[in-house]
């Protein structure tokens, strides 16, 4: 895409989109250009429509994947090329919600034990113990860990929002052990292999998948599974939804309430209205038939 790619990246920055979203939109735009082998300025509504339909039929995109590609093309034409009429018709597919599989505390312990390095155990414990997204964990800096107040400062989380979350004692002890052993250089708490760069999310993902297989966990496990477990276990222990929303950094409380839907413990604690009925209101088998015989 050449200069157009640079312009689009600049436009994405000016709109305040985070680095991950910018990279995703650029990849989607490049895939569109590669498919037609033509400059986007030479194409329009017809090509966009045909491309999205073809990708749905041939690659069987999920609704969420479709929405990301549609959003990228909508941005490309509406903002970078200044031709919003070409993409004004694009709508969004409804993404079905599938409750995630929640790891139990015992399964989290098995996962931690199966991780090969102290660094990865610290990373996973941060995701579970503090409810951090994997991108937030790998971008932590040493100064973000406040052992005096027992909090972690999450700088520029999702939506570029800062927040504080808890620093559990077990995580603090693990971080201190990790620090003594590896002495990471630079501001990053978890530096990558290249100097000046943070540990990659892909490296964390692969380590978690390997550890889950080693621990013989039957559930699908990703780094985000630890954040799901954090939220569900707090909710089951009595943490209110508003506090949980702040800890997770959710913009809307509706996102947080989903965890109430996936927690079996919350369901078990809720009393059915049937159990509040007076026992005398529950007829015995055959009682109605007997009453009719007596009345006759």
Catalytic residue among 22, 158, 201, 258: 158
Does the global pTM surpass 0.75? no
* 158 tagged catalytic: yes
pLDDT of amino acid 95: 84
Rounded distance between C-alpha atoms, residue 39 and residue 5, angstroms: 11
Q: Judging by DSSP bridges, how do beta strands 163-166 and 151-154 pair with one another?
A: antiparallel
- Going by C-alpha positions, the residue among 248, 46, 58, 264 that lies closest to residue 66 is 58
| Active site (annotated) includes residue 250 | yes
Domains and CATH numbers, the chain: 3-86 (1.10.150.130), 105-269 (1.10.443.10)
Query: Given 49, 153, 224, 258, which residue is catalytic?
Result: 224
pLDDT by 10s per residue, the chain, length 296: 789 999 999 999 999 888 888 999 999 999 999 999 999 999 999 999 999 999 888 877 889 999 999 999 999 999 999 999 999 999 999 988 777 889 999 999 999 999 989 999 999 999 999 999 999 999 999 999 999 999 999 987 777 789 999 999 999 999 999 999 988 877 889 998 887 788 999 999 999 999 999 999 999 999 999 999 999 999 888 898 999 999 999 988 888 888 877 676 666 777 777 777 776 555 555 555 555 655 55
Return all residues near 114 (Cβ < 8 A) that are at least 6 apart. Answer: 210, 211, 212, 214, 215
- Give the full edge-to-edge strand order of the sheet including 163-166: 145-146, 151-154, 163-166
- Angstrom CA distances, 177 to 28, 170, 172, 182, stand at 42, 11, 9, 9
Q: What is the distance, to the nearest Å, from the Cα of residue 257 to the centroid of all Cα atoms in its chain?
A: 15
How many whole angstroms separate alpha carbon 153 and alpha carbon 280? 57
* Distances in whole angstroms, Cα of residue 11 to Cα of each of 81, 104, 155: 10, 44, 23
Is 94 noted as a catalytic residue in this protein?
no
Residue 171 burial class via C-beta count within 10 angstroms: exposed 0-12, middle 13-18, buried 19 and up: buried
Residues 6 or more apart whose CB falls under 8 angstroms from that of 274 comprise none
pLDDT at 229: 94
Q: How far apart are CA 200 and CA 192, in angstroms?
A: 7
| Burial readout 60-74 (b: 16 or more C-beta within 10 A, e: otherwise) | ebeeebbbbbbbbbb
**3-state class percentages of the chain: helix first, strand second, coil last, to nearest 5:** 60, 5, 35
Clarify whether 220 is annotated catalytic. Answer: no
Cβ-proximal residues to 116 (8 Å cutoff; 6+ apart), any chain = 207, 210, 211
Is 223 in a helix, a strand, or coil? Answer: helix
Instruction: Give the contacts of 244 (CB within 8 A, at least 6 positions apart).
Output: 231, 234, 235, 256, 259
Active site residue 227: yes
Question: Burial, 189: exposed, middle or buried (Cβ in 10 Å; 0-12, 13-18, 19+)?
Answer: buried
Annotated active-site residue 35? The verdict is no
| Given the residues 69, 119, 121, 227, the one annotated as active site | 227
What's the confidence (pLDDT) of residue 291? 59
Rounded Cα–Cα distance for residues 247 and 31 (Å): 37
Q: Which of 133, 178, 228, 233 is catalytic?
A: 133
């Amino acid at each position: 895409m050449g200069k157009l790619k640079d312009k689009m990246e600049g436009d994405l920055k000016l709109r305040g989109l985070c680095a991950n979203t910018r990279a995703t939109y650029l990849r989607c735009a490049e895939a569109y250009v590669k498919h037609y082998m033509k400059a986007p300025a030479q194409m329009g509504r017809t090509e966009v429509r045909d491309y999205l339909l073809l990708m749905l039929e041939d690659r069987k995109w999920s609704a969420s994947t479709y929405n990301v590609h549609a959003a990228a093309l909508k941005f490309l034409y509406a903002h970078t090329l200044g031709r919003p009429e070409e993409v004004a018709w694009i709508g969004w597919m409804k993404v079905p919600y599938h409750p995630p599989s929640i790891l139990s505390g015992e399964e989290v312990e098995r996962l931690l034990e199966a991780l090969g390095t102290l660094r990865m155990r610290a990373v996973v414990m941060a995701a579970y113990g503090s409810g951090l997204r994997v991108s937030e964990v790998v971008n932590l800096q040493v100064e973000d860990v406040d052992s005096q107040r027992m909090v972690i400062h999450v700088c520029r989380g999702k939506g570029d929002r800062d927040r504080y979350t808890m620093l559990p004692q077990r995580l603090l002890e693990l971080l201190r052990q990790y620090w003594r052993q590896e002495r990471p250089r630079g501001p990053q708490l978890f530096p990558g292999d290249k100097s000046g760069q943070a540990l990659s999310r892909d490296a964390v993902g692969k380590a978690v998948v390997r550890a889950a297989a080693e621990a013989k966990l039957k559930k699908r496990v990703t780094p985000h599974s630890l954040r799901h477990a954090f939220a569900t276990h707090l909710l089951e222990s009595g943490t209110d939804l508003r506090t949980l929303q702040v800890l997770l950094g959710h913009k809307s409380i509706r996102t947080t309430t989903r965890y109430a839907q996936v927690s079996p413990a919350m369901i078990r604690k809720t009393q059915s209205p049937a159990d509040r009925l007076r026992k005398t209101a529950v007829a015995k088998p055959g009682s109605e038939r007997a009453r009719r015989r007596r009345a006759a």
